[in-house]
Amino acid sequence: MNLKQLAELLQLSQTTVSRALNGYPEVAEPTRDRVLEAAQRHGYKPNSNARKLATGRAGSIGYVLPVGRNVDLDPHFVEFLSGLGEHALMREVDLSLTPAPRERESEAYRRIAASRSVDGVYLSSMRNDEQRIGLVRSLGIPFLAHGRALKPAEGYAFLDIDNEGAFHDATRLLLQLGHRRLAFINGDTDFTFAVHRLNGVIRAMTAHGLPFESLRHHSAAMNEENGYRLAMELFRDADPLARPTGVLSASMFSTLGIVRAFNQLGLRMPQDVSIITHDDVFPFLKPESFSVQLSTTRSSIRAAGARICERLVNIISGAESGPVAEIWPVELIVRASTGPAPADRKAGRRGTQEAAE
């Protein structure tokens, strides 16, 4: 079925059908839905070259992929890309990756703008003082940020999760359970998500009258090796009366290493130490699969990838306009790795014994 036949079937003009298929905002939503449903039912596939000529668009969204000796593509990016790719397939949009070392990122964006090879780009791994926002805006490239910068803090479209709120709630739970010696194995604080998470921990501690200096905070790339190394530093030679009783972890991958260290040191969860970790909902790494099921803050990074693609396509078509800030709440799920602080548990047992006597 070609465009003319589809238009005749729907008793609409070819222009209206074409605009509905390409997401133009001036087409009413009921009409757009009717056109898309008919196109799918009758197997209509637009000619990509004709569509590009008609719309003036490349039919592609882009990403500047960091490469280099000190850059690792971790599973977080792969899972995010899976969600983005699935939605791109639904919208018949291609994904274009432009590899570039970090020091030459600006050149990559200038090449993208000059070649008009993509209709828009998404930015990720947002840094505290983010330079790419001003650059792509000056180049006239439509964009959407996954995450947000500290500077500028607003004035651009982004999707983020409530990192501060998530780790505030996780810290508050540990404090309510009597934990006063806390450790936080965080992500790299060059990136804003890690700063927001640290702010959440500090806010909860301040509300409970604990100084920030009492927090054992470590910042590193989120992987098993760093989780193991930092947990060993925190617990291996520490006085049992001074070591942390509650641990916050920024990633399930860091937590793999943390739990391995606990096992080697003979520390039990939650009898000796409680832990809460962030879960990006990886299908191959589930908190229920650990020997002690992990308490988590949970938000799907794959779902975020799909939403980034959906919104970026809408920005390109004009269906979305303005600097829309979208922040997802994060769910706190309490499982077996979290319990009362050891001192509180001992005090509870003594109270029970005294009552029995």
| Domain contains 157 | yes
Q: Which of 159, 209, 168, 179 is nearest to 315 (CA)?
A: 159
| Judgement on whether residues 146 and 294 belong to the same structural domain of the protein | no
Confidence (pLDDT) at 357: 42
**How buried is residue 97: exposed, middle or buried, by Cβ count under 10 Å (0-12/13-18/19+)?**
exposed
Total count of domains within the chain: 2
| Domain contains 1 | no
Radius of gyration of the chain (CA): 25
| Judgement on whether residues 314 and 223 belong to the same structural domain of the protein | no
- Is the distance from CB of 46 to CB of 3 less than 8 angstroms? yes
What's the pLDDT tens digit per position in 145-175? 999 999 888 899 999 999 999 999 999 999 9
| Domain contains 170 | yes
Q: How many CA atoms lie within 13 A of 53 on its CB side?
A: 5
| Judgement on whether residues 110 and 188 belong to the same structural domain of the protein | no
What's the pLDDT tens digit per position in 190-236? 999 999 999 999 999 999 999 999 999 999 999 999 999 999 999 99
| Judgement on whether residues 337 and 211 belong to the same structural domain of the protein | yes
| Domain contains 53 | no
Q: Which of 210, 284, 218, 270 is nearest to 249 (CA)?
A: 218
Cα 139 versus chain centre, distance: 26
Q: Does the bond joining 340 to the residue before it have cis omega, within 30 degrees of 0?
A: no
| Domain contains 207 | yes
How far apart CA 37 and CA 81 sit, in angstroms, is 27
- Is the distance from CB of 41 to CB of 76 less than 8 angstroms? no
Confidence (pLDDT) at 270: 97
Query: Which residues does the chain have with pLDDT short of 50?
Result: 53, 345-357
| Domain contains 205 | yes
Instruction: Check the CA dihedral 280-283-288-292 and report its sign.
Output: negative
| Domain contains 13 | no
* C-alpha dihedral (93, 98, 99, 105), degrees to nearest 10: -130
Q: Give the residue carrying structure tokens 């699969």.
A: 289
The pTM (predicted TM-score) of the whole model is 0.82
| Judgement on whether residues 270 and 150 belong to the same structural domain of the protein | no
| Judgement on whether residues 295 and 321 belong to the same structural domain of the protein | no
Confidence (pLDDT) at 56: 64
| Judgement on whether residues 206 and 146 belong to the same structural domain of the protein | no
Q: How distant, in Å, are the alpha carbons of 114, 270, 291 from that of 119?
A: 12, 50, 47
* Helix 14-21 vs helix 3-10: crossing angle, to nearest 10: 100
Confidence (pLDDT) at 44: 80
| Judgement on whether residues 272 and 167 belong to the same structural domain of the protein | yes
| Judgement on whether residues 139 and 261 belong to the same structural domain of the protein | no
- Is the distance from CB of 218 to CB of 230 less than 8 angstroms? yes
What are the φ/ψ torsions at residue 210 (nearest 5 degrees)? -100, 135
Range of 197's domain?
A: 163-299+332-345
- Is the distance from CB of 337 to CB of 270 less than 8 angstroms? yes
Here the CATH number for the domain that contains residue 115 is 3.40.50.2300
| Domain contains 136 | yes
| Judgement on whether residues 157 and 275 belong to the same structural domain of the protein | no
| Judgement on whether residues 135 and 187 belong to the same structural domain of the protein | no
Confidence (pLDDT) at 40: 83
Confidence (pLDDT) at 70: 62
Residues 6+ apart with CB under 8 A from 55: 22
| Judgement on whether residues 253 and 122 belong to the same structural domain of the protein | no
